[in-house]
A = this chain, B = another copy of it.
Amino acid sequence: MSKTPPLVVIGTVAIDELSTPFGARQTVFGGSASFFSYAASFFARVGVVAVVGEDFPEEYRDVLKEREIDLSHLDTLPGKTFHWKGKYESDMNSAITLQTDLNVLLDFKPKIRYEKTPEFVFLANIDPDLQLSVLDQMHGSALKFVACDTMNFWIQSRKDAVLKVLGRVHAVFMNDGEARQLTGEVNLIKAAQQIYNLGPEYVIIKKGEHGALLYSREGVFIYPAYPLETVYDPTGAGDSFAGGVMGYLASARKVNLKIMKTAIAYGTVVASFTVEKFGMSRLREVKREHFDKRLEVLKKICKI
């Protein structure tokens, strides 16, 4: 039993290998839960439910510790850590996956051992069955808000499980390509509407350099990305965006359209820092004040 953080994420912790037009890195600390938790930690205490292998470097663990992230549920299993190899070409909006080695993820059976059920839960990109298994272990009325992410791979190969997850969450984060893929609908507003009809009250569509779109019963919200002259490495942009959003929501301790709008704006600025250096390097340099400052600039940029 360990003290329950208000926000918990299940997802991947990975060792990435990647190249962008700005350079290549053989080993970068990555994974959906890593980026999410690091970003969210600026707003609320966050716990990670994930697995690593015996090769997982202590220095990566220290990166999460520097933000006081709860690692009581970061299990270590015999074998190697999940490994993703990808590249970005001139169109930095989409990653090209070159190799995926699931390694210890294959044997991961998350067991939730928190004292209480956390209030906010994020099901980051990972096998939808693992997302469901964690959700099954979340009992009681303490659970306020569950959101999920997914990716093209699961939509293509495990659509039924993805739909099951969507039927059980309050919010979904998806990129524009995935929303179109899931619904078969080119028009993003219609696609968002259809996803909304599958269950989530808040459908958040990430459009990369074009910002984000929120579809909800209470209305539509559109917010631009923070304009950057250089994007070094888009890896983790979506996860840290979700981390900023969920971290802010967890700090607000409730969700409505007004709070969600501000949360999306914070997610946007958090992601804008993420992509300025490889992996988590840039996020490790900033403080909460940096987000507030950039948010003020962004508000001005889209105000008439």
Q: Of residues 58 to 114 in A, which have CB atoms within 8 Å of B's CB atoms?
A: 90-92
Determine if A228 and B189 form an interchain contact, defined as CB atoms under 8 angstroms apart.
yes
Measured CA separation A231–B265 after assembly (Å): 28
Q: Is A262 part of the binding interface, using a Cβ–Cβ cutoff of 8 Å?
A: yes
Copies in the complex: 2
Contacts of A197 in B (CB 8 A): none
A213: nearest chain-B partner, CB-CB: B227
Determine if A92 and B186 form an interchain contact, defined as CB atoms under 8 angstroms apart.
yes
Determine if A304 and B299 form an interchain contact, defined as CB atoms under 8 angstroms apart.
yes
A21: nearest chain-B partner, CB-CB: B186
Contact of A302 among B188, B209, B210, B302 (CB under 8 A): B302
Contacts of A190 in B (CB 8 A): 229-230
Q: Is A223 part of the binding interface, using a Cβ–Cβ cutoff of 8 Å?
A: yes
Measured CA separation A152–B297 after assembly (Å): 33
Q: Using known A-B contacts A301-B219, A304-B265, determine if residue A211 contacts B224 with beta carbons closer than 8 Å.
A: yes
Q: Using known A-B contacts A207-B210, A210-B210, A213-B227, determine if residue A221 contacts B189 with beta carbons closer than 8 Å.
A: no
A223: nearest chain-B partner, CB-CB: B302
Q: Mask for A196-238, Cβ within 8 A of B = 1, else 0?
A: 0000000000010111010000011111100111110000000
Most-contacted residue by chain B among A188, A190, A227 (CB, 10 A): A227
Q: Is A27 part of the binding interface, using a Cβ–Cβ cutoff of 8 Å?
A: no
Q: Of residues 275 to 304 in A, which have CB atoms within 8 Å of B's CB atoms?
A: 299-304
Contacts of A231 in B (CB 8 A): 187
Contacts of A187 in B (CB 8 A): 228-231
Measured CA separation A187–B301 after assembly (Å): 17
Q: Is A261 part of the binding interface, using a Cβ–Cβ cutoff of 8 Å?
A: yes
Measured CA separation A222–B92 after assembly (Å): 20
16 new A-B pairs (CB below 8 Å) besides A223-B304, A299-B304?
A92-B186, A187-B230, A189-B227, A189-B228, A193-B229, A207-B210, A211-B224, A219-B300, A220-B301, A221-B301, A222-B227, A224-B224, A224-B302, A261-B304, A265-B304, A302-B302
The contact sample of 25 A-B pairs, CB cut-off 8 A, is: A91-B186, A92-B186, A187-B229, A187-B230, A187-B231, A188-B209, A189-B227, A189-B228, A193-B229, A210-B210, A211-B222, A219-B300, A219-B301, A220-B227, A222-B224, A222-B301, A222-B302, A223-B304, A224-B224, A224-B302, A261-B303, A261-B304, A265-B304, A299-B304, A302-B302
